[in-house]
Amino acid sequence: MTVLVVATSNPGKVKEMQAYLADLGYKLQLKPKDLEIEETGDTFMANACLKASGVAKVTGQWAIADDSGLAVEALNGSPGIYSARYGSTDDERISRLLSELSDAANRRAQFVCAIAIARPDGKIALQSEGVCDGEILHLGRGTSGFGYDPIFYLKEQQLTFAEMTTSQKQRYSHRGKALSALRSKLPL
């Protein structure tokens, strides 16, 4: 079984990724707790590549990283690459976003996910990207998932990400789409 070190401290991301890759013989593990890679890129893909490469070089193992976020049309694409830094907690990030969006009529948004896999020497081996279009609700719904999931609504499914089952989220989410595209390029 090939180990992929996931360049995150978020166990929710690891669980989501593992669901996609386990049947292919990959075992995912969190990066070392004290290892922090600065996200200095100006795109989701640039940040994913920085994280995957940095973790691979330090650990000497294959590494996978994603950089994802929410781009809200009425906020000119914000929070974008700063989605995780929009507040200290999920609740703070959601509150800030809803406050900034206020009563805007245009609530269109998209989740974007860029994924990079780096070889143990830090060279990027694979990349993929997934996008999911939706809209932002005025109030959160559902208890599954993490991040902005309770307020991100898919009209065609009439559900937020936080209301979806794991299999539904795998099918429709930005991360699901990026991981599906990546699966076709594996094995390493």
Domains, the chain: 2-183 (3.90.950.10)
DSSP codes of every residue in the chain: -EEEEES-S-HHHHHHHHHHHGGGTEEEEEPPTT-------SSHHHHHHHHHHHHHHHHTS-EEEEEEEEEEGGGTT-BGGGGGGSSSSHHHHHHHHHHHHTT-S--EEEEEEEEEEE-TTS-EEEEEEEEEEEEE-SS---SSSSTTGGGEEETTTTEEGGGS-HHHHHHHSHHHHHHHHHHTT---
Q: How far is CA 12 from the centre of its chain?
A: 10
State residue 70's pLDDT score.
Answer: 97
67 in active site: yes
**What is residue 68's predicted lDDT score, i.e. its pLDDT?**
92
pLDDT score, position 17:
85
Percent of the chain with pLDDT over 90: 72
Q: What's the one-letter identity of residue 70? A: L
Catalytic residue, from 34, 42, 67, 133: name it.
Answer: 67
In whole angstroms, give the CA distance from residue 77 to residue 74: 7
Angle at 162 between CA 31 and CA 114, to 5 degrees: 45
Give the integer Cα–Cα distance in Å for 69 and 78: 9
pLDDT beneath 70, residues of the chain: 187-188
**Residue 188 pLDDT:** 60
